[in-house]
């Protein structure tokens, strides 16, 4: 079992790599080699018994994907993308990487397919950004895609291509629309959605965090651990049941900021909650208003995908996976 991870240096990519190395198997077979790719070569953990190669590649070059496919990976995780804000600022770069880069990958696999002799599982990370307001209370599995960003447009197009290349037998694709990942580890960043994580992550370690929206703001969340479980399940599931509908809303937790804060209070006490500073930001309030708030992800749930059911659980996962299992005293 030979596995290729494109976009392996990102937060989810690193956690996915660690999970695969720990399991050592995929679809009941031993993992015999892994290739980690990103725009800069990803770090390789020492001491793994599985051979791991790390490569730097610019997927917006047509030849890059051909080179990555030479070893005929059995499973390809395609996580690479430039983020929403950058794709909005740099129209050409967004299309070059998020659309053309993905299409070159599909094409390289098609050209290697030799009439179906080679047909790898391809797990593609899409995004809830494929949807654009106005929304129903819950976005169903059959709601239409009218993205309001170039990033969302690029993801929606790659979903369509994934389904067509799968239907034609060139690859065996599963597209998963990830919820916002919470609690995202690391430092505060400038992403407009960053506060959903930072209002929990920072107070948990005694630091201040800024809340730019009202407590009534609702959003759709899943933990990094859930994201990795989605990717692994998408790689292992039986795709015959998907028919031609290869792209799935992932399960998640719909919660208001107020509910996030109540969970923080239960887990870490009043002292942590007091570290949240309210600084309403009209621009962020407006952006968040346009984002999906809730989904009916019945189809993915029926197919065995599962996410957290409370924010207490999401916070607990962060404490276990990022803080060594205990809150600092």
Would you say 4 or 97 has its CB closer to a second copy? Answer: 97
CA separation for the pair 227, 215 (Å, rounded): 25
Q: Is 144 in the site for a second copy (CB under 8 A)?
A: yes
Would you say 38 or 145 has its CB closer to a second copy? Answer: 145
Q: Is 126 in the site for a second copy (CB under 8 A)?
A: no
Residue spans of alpha helices (H) in 168-325? 194-204, 224-236, 257-273, 282-289, 298-302, 311-322
Residue 292 in contact with residue 222, Cβ under 8 Å? no
- Out of 5, 37, 156, 234, which residue is the one contacting a second copy (CB under 8 A)? 156
CA separation for the pair 126, 114 (Å, rounded): 27
What's the token pair of residue 301?
């749930």
Q: Is 286 in the site for a second copy (CB under 8 A)?
A: no
Would you say 152 or 212 has its CB closer to a second copy? Answer: 152
* Residue 170 per-residue DSSP state: S
User: From residue 21, how far is each of 6, 18, 78, 92, 229 by CA, in Å?
Assistant: 16, 5, 18, 36, 14
Please return the burial class of 40, using the count of CB atoms within 10 Å of its CB with bins 0-12, 13-18 and 19+: exposed
Q: Is 165 part of the annotated catalytic residue set?
A: no
Q: How far is the CB of 134 from a second copy (least distance, A)?
A: 9
* Residue 193 per-residue DSSP state: T
CA separation for the pair 278, 199 (Å, rounded): 10
- Out of 42, 73, 147, 194, which residue is the one contacting a second copy (CB under 8 A)? 147
Q: Is 175 in the site for a second copy (CB under 8 A)?
A: no
**Among the residue ranges 28-36, 154-162, 223-231, 295-303, the one whose residues contact a second copy (CB under 8 A):** 154-162
Q: Which member of 104, 106, 151, 165 is catalytic? A: 151
Would you say 161 or 234 has its CB closer to a second copy? Answer: 161
Q: How far is the CB of 91 from a second copy (least distance, A)?
A: 7
**Among the residue ranges 14-22, 66-74, 161-169, 227-235, the one whose residues contact a second copy (CB under 8 A):** 161-169
H or E, element range at 2: strand 2-6
- Out of 93, 138, 148, 299, which residue is the one contacting a second copy (CB under 8 A)? 148
CA separation for the pair 283, 212 (Å, rounded): 9
Q: How far is the CB of 148 from a second copy (least distance, A)?
A: 6
Q: Is 27 in the site for a second copy (CB under 8 A)?
A: no
Residue 308 in contact with residue 317, Cβ under 8 Å? yes
CA separation for the pair 26, 285 (Å, rounded): 42
Q: Is 143 in the site for a second copy (CB under 8 A)?
A: yes
**Among the residue ranges 147-155, 211-219, 266-274, 299-307, the one whose residues contact a second copy (CB under 8 A):** 147-155
Q: Is 160 in the site for a second copy (CB under 8 A)?
A: yes
| Contact characters 72-111, a second copy, x per CB under 8 A | -------------------x--------------------
Q: Is 114 in the site for a second copy (CB under 8 A)?
A: no
- Out of 27, 72, 207, 245, which residue is the one contacting a second copy (CB under 8 A)? 245
What is the 3-class SS of 28-90, one letter each residue?
CEECCEEEEEECCCCCCCCCCCCCEEEEECCCCCHHHHHHHHCCCCCEEEECCCCCHHHHHHC
Q: Is 310 in the site for a second copy (CB under 8 A)?
A: no
Would you say 159 or 308 has its CB closer to a second copy? Answer: 159
Residues acting as catalytic residues: 151
Binding region for a second copy (CB under 8 A): 91, 132, 141-148, 150, 153, 156-157, 160-161, 163-164, 167-168, 244-245
């Amino acid at each position: 079992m030979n596995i290729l991870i494109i976009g392996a240096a990102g937060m989810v990519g690193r956690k996915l790599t660690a999970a695969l190395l720990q399991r050592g198997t995929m679809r009941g077979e031993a993992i015999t080699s892994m290739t980690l790719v990103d725009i800069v070569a990803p770090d390789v953990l020492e001491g793994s018994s599985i051979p791991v190669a790390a490569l730097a590649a610019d997927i917006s070059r047509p030849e890059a994907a051909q080179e990555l496919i030479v070893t005929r990976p059995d499973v390809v995780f395609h996580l690479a993308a430039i983020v929403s804000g950058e794709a909005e600022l740099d129209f050409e770069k967004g299309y070059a990487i998020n659309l053309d880069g993905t299409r070159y990958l599909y094409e390289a696999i098609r050209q290697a397919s030799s009439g179906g002799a080679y047909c790898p599982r391809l797990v593609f990370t899409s995004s809830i950004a494929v949807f654009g307001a106005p929304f129903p209370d819950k976005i169903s599995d059959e709601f239409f895609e009218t993205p309001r960003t170039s990033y969302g447009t690029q993801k929606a197009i790659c979903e369509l291509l994934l389904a067509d290349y799968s239907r034609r037998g060139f690859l065996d694709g599963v597209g998963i629309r990830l919820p916002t990942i919470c609690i995202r580890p690391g430092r505060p960043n400038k992403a407009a959605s960053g506060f959903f994580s930072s209002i929990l992550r920072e107070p948990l370690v005694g630091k201040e965090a800024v809340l730019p929206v009202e407590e009534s703001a609702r959003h759709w969340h899943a933990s990094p651990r859930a994201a990795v479980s989605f990717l692994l399940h998408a790689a292992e599931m039986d795709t015959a049941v998907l028919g031609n509908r290869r792209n799935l809303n992932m399960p998640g937790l719909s919660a208001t900021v107020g509910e996030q804060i109540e969970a923080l209070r239960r887990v870490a006490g009043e002292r942590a909650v007091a570290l949240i500073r309210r600084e309403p930001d009209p621009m962020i309030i407006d952006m968040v208003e346009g984002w999906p708030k809730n989904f009916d992800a019945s189809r993915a749930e029926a197919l065995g995908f599962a996410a957290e059911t409370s924010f207490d659980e999401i916070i607990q996962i962060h404490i276990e996976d990022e803080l060594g299992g205990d809150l600092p005293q």
